Amino acid sequence: MAVYKLKTPISEEEIRKLQVNDVIYISGTVVTARDQAHRRALEYFKEGKPLPVNLEGLAVYHCGPAVKREDDKWVIVSAGPTTSTRMEIFEDEFIEKFKVRVIIGKGGMGPKTTEAMKKYGAVYAAFTGGAGALAAKSIKRLISLEWEDLGIPEALWILEVEDFGPLVIAIDSHGNNIFESVMKQVEANKQKVYEKLGI
Amino acid sequence: MKKPLFKLDEQVYEGVHGELTESILNVKCIRLKPNNMLLTREEKSVITSEKIEDLAVKLLKLAVTELPPDVKNALKRAYEEETSEAGKTQLQAILENVEYAEKTRTPMCQDTGTIIFYIKAGVNAKGLDLFEEALRKATQRATREVPLRPNAVNPFTQKNSGDNTGRFIPFIHWKLVPGETIELTVFPKGGGSENVCTLGMLVPGEGVKGLKRFIVDAVVKAGSKPCPPNIIGVGVGGGADISMKLAKEALLRPLDQPNPDPEIAKLEKEIYEALNTIGIGPMGLGGKITVLGVNIEYAHRHPASYPAAVAFQCWAARRATARINPDGSVEFLTHKPI
């Protein structure tokens, strides 16, 4: 397990160095996107419309923050990750079209995303589910809020972060997926647990 | 400060004289305001809407920003006992997050949950009729002030009410108990762990064996989704609704309090230890600690049914309880007051 500090924009070369179980901290620009934002971004691409932010080399964060309004400004109060599997239907295309290098979320993603990460050079980095206060602490500034019409959790929150982490590389760009290997092991362990409990 | 006035027949007693009159003659005087005016109904009852609302806002704030001591201790112990590196990074981040949230009084998780209240109401307590409205107002106020993420969505129009209230929400579970005190618990319940809660109508002939398998399968199926390490609440018997209600109530029991029935306590420990060899680990990244505890509650079952419910609680096991005494004084049972 190695620890890396990465700055956006992140190059493909930097991504290819990373292995599952490595820990990274990201500084620079992170953009939140959930189901609706993924869908719209891909529609924009099809229609040839530019996105409000160029995502190349950036990190996309599966997150719907808790926010409050203070003196006409948005303050991000708590910003932990949401369950990533909901974005599985979009993510391979999203990585291919926008050259995003890091997807941050919780709970892992499936084989389509793993394959796209291998092909185009991206990683899935798990941030601790529920650690919303810790995430908010590393957010230095809200660069801009886009697609507000999608609602607070679904909008694009373009954030400047400093040492955002620890993020565990759970899917690397070499086809390894921790969540898949863990669940395979768990299925095997289940029989032993049954025995232990006299089932 | 002016002394309270007590009126008995036409005689008015001041302060301690009034109290003595009451206790010696074993009568109840009428309380007067200092200007000799009669008290209104609301003032006579020391429990007012405002008092309940303020208390509930405080409890909500405490719950979402600070874990109760038993959960904090369990997480610390989990960090010590975890053997996988990935698991340890997760538990360390959780502990840092918990500490930071408490210090800054910000919600530890952005999903501040569906707002649920449990009330143990003394049948002779005053002001019980005030709770429903006061708790609704408190939820709206806490949403603005803490703040909480608006999490109440109409299931047919998909419209978010924006203030965490809606039809039946916040939900209040009432339980009548003897006496005059009221115990109020807030239980904000996150969506990720709620999504894997499961109910099974098991085969009675399989008995406890079937129950154990049902619990293990539920935990394996849930995998990384409920933000492990989890607390597993198990409810058995009664009926479909009763078993799930018991499973949820089991989540309210502190982790350092095993079931008072030694046989059930033994089963809790056995399942807890077995689940921590299954390997899901913190956040599903693999490791030893998959659960922080297993709490079981049961009711007797119908001979033909074996209802079993498994309720999942994420590591952010947020709850806060206070007791309201008959004199209106408040004791915080899970947290230091703010």
Contact across the interface for A126 and B192, Cβ inside 8 Å: no
Residues in chain B where the model's pLDDT stays below 70: 1-4, 7-11, 18, 21-22, 25-45
pLDDT, tens digit, 9 for 90 and up, residues A97-142: 999 999 999 999 999 999 999 999 999 999 999 999 999 999 999 9
Taking the Cβ of residue A166 and every Cβ of chain B, the question of whether any pair is shorter than 8 Å is answered with: yes
Q: B309 and B195 in one domain?
A: yes
Note the pLDDT of residue A85: 93
pLDDT, tens digit, 9 for 90 and up, residues B87-117: 999 999 999 999 999 999 999 999 999 999 9
Q: 3-state secondary structure string, chain B? A: CCCCEEEECCEEEEHHHHHHHHHHHCCCCEEECCCCCECCHHHHCCCCHHHHHHHHHHHHHHHHHCCCHHHHHHHHHHHHHCCCHHHHHHHHHHHHHHHHHHHHCCCCCCCCCEEEEEEEEECCCCCHHHHHHHHHHHHHHHHHHCCCCCCCECCCCCCECCCCCECCECEEEEEEECCCCEEEEEEEECHHHHCCCEEEEECHHHHHHHHHHHHHHHHHHHCCCCCCCEEEEEEECCCHHHHHHHHHHHHHCCCCCCCCCHHHHHHHHHHHHHHCCCCCCHHHCCCCCCEEEEEEEECCCCCCCEEEEEEEECCCCCCEEEEECCCCCEEECCCCCC
pLDDT, tens digit, 9 for 90 and up, residues A50-95: 999 999 999 999 999 988 888 899 999 999 999 999 999 999 999 9
Q: What is the number of domains present in chain A?
A: 1
Q: Does residue B48 contact residue B137 with C-beta atoms inside 8 Å? A: no
Q: B91 and B220 in one domain?
A: yes
- Could you say which of B86, B96, B216 has the minimum Cβ distance to residue A194? B216
Residues of B in contact with A67 (CB under 8 A): 147
Q: Does residue B88 contact residue B6 with C-beta atoms inside 8 Å? A: no
Q: Complex ipTM, two decimals?
A: 0.90
Q: B145 and B56 in one domain?
A: yes
Q: Write the CATH number for A48.
A: 3.20.130.10
Q: B100 and B246 in one domain?
A: yes
Q: B250 and B326 in one domain?
A: no
Q: What is the number of domains present in chain B?
A: 3
Nearest residue of A to residue B66, measured between CA atoms: A133
Note the pLDDT of residue B15: 72
Q: B296 and B202 in one domain?
A: yes
**CA distance, residue A188 to nearest chain B CA (Å):** 9
Q: B301 and B225 in one domain?
A: yes
List the catalytic residues of A.
38
Nearest residue of B to residue A181, measured between CA atoms: B286
Contact across the interface for A128 and B223, Cβ inside 8 Å: no
Q: B130 and B171 in one domain?
A: yes
Within A50-199, where are the H helices? Answer: 88-98, 111-120, 132-138, 178-196
Q: B294 and B227 in one domain?
A: yes
Q: B331 and B213 in one domain?
A: no
Rounded to 10 degrees, the C-alpha dihedral A4/A88/A62/B79 comes to -60
Structural domain boundaries, residue A97 = 3-196
Q: B265 and B125 in one domain?
A: no
Structural domain boundaries, residue B306 = 67-107+191-315
Q: B208 and B279 in one domain?
A: yes
Taking the Cβ of residue A136 and every Cβ of chain B, the question of whether any pair is shorter than 8 Å is answered with: yes
Note the pLDDT of residue B37: 54
Closest CA to A168 of A26, A32, A16: A26
**CA distance, residue B261 to nearest chain A CA (Å):** 19
Note the pLDDT of residue B42: 45
Tokens standing for residue A161: 């972060």
Residues of B in contact with A85 (CB under 8 A): 225
**DSSP H or E segment with residue A60:** strand A59-61
Residues of B in contact with A68 (CB under 8 A): 147
